[in-house]
Copies of this chain bind each other. A is one copy, B any other.
Amino acid sequence: MVADLGAVEALVFDMFGTVVDWRTSVASGVEPFLDEYLSEADPHEFADLWRAEYQPSMERVRSGSRPFVRLDVLHRENLETVIERFGVDPRAISDDVLEEVNLCWHRLDPWPDAVAGLARLKQRHIIAPLSNANVRLALDVAKRAGLPWDAILGAEVAAAYKPDPAAYLRTAEILGLDPEQVMMVAAHNSDLAAAARVGLRTAFVRRPTEHGPGQTVDLVPEGPWDVVAEDFEDLADQLTR
């Protein structure tokens, strides 16, 4: 199976859940805010509720019912939605405070294997995020964590949110590559399915605690992915064999 992956020149990575542990990072990031404004809220529950608005908010862009806006804008709108759900009017909270809370998505910690694995993968491949994050968000996460990307690609550069086929195809085109020369690396079967449908290669990386200790989704590969890896070090082992 590895043999026919020799044509792969670029590895593009889902970010939230695949490269970084968004749930733990956001829960820890919102804690001081919750203490002051929403003392009954549990930080992990708050992080989950905030993240639950992620797909519906992008769907409004994907369906064409609103023009493309970057993820920072959607995160901010979704933050206000979640605050309202706790019975608090977000307009009673200062804009500066909300903006600061929103920035916790720019300070996500990588999984322990991510930096070392990426450094190894970078030796033979172009590596870049193909995330729904906007450029500044992905850049801030990378700069803080030391993720050694060759470029920051993704939804904002492609002006399309995954799993819209345009997000994958425009990224390959920007890289000057055919789809089969690009491998999508993700902890999510749905992302890989969408990438495979338009011709990209696929690598599933297990992240069994992305959603906490009781995770029930994406525990196993659910498609004929080209590679299945335990983490980025294992991915580097398999791709550099």
Using a CB–CB cutoff of 8 Å, the interface residues on chain A facing chain B are 72, 126, 134-136, 138-139, 142-143, 149-153, 156-157, 174-176
Contact = CB atoms under 8 A, between A and B. Distances in A.
Contacts of A126: 139, 143
Given A136-B175, A174-B135, A150 B143 contact: yes
B174 A151 contact: no
Taken together, the copies of this chain in the complex come to 2
A174 B150 contact: no
Nearest to A174: B135
26 contacts: A72-B176, A126-B139, A126-B143, A134-B174, A134-B176, A135-B151, A135-B153, A135-B157, A135-B174, A135-B175, A136-B174, A136-B175, A136-B176, A138-B151, A139-B150, A139-B151, A139-B175, A142-B150, A143-B150, A149-B151, A150-B152, A151-B151, A151-B152, A152-B152, A156-B174, A157-B157
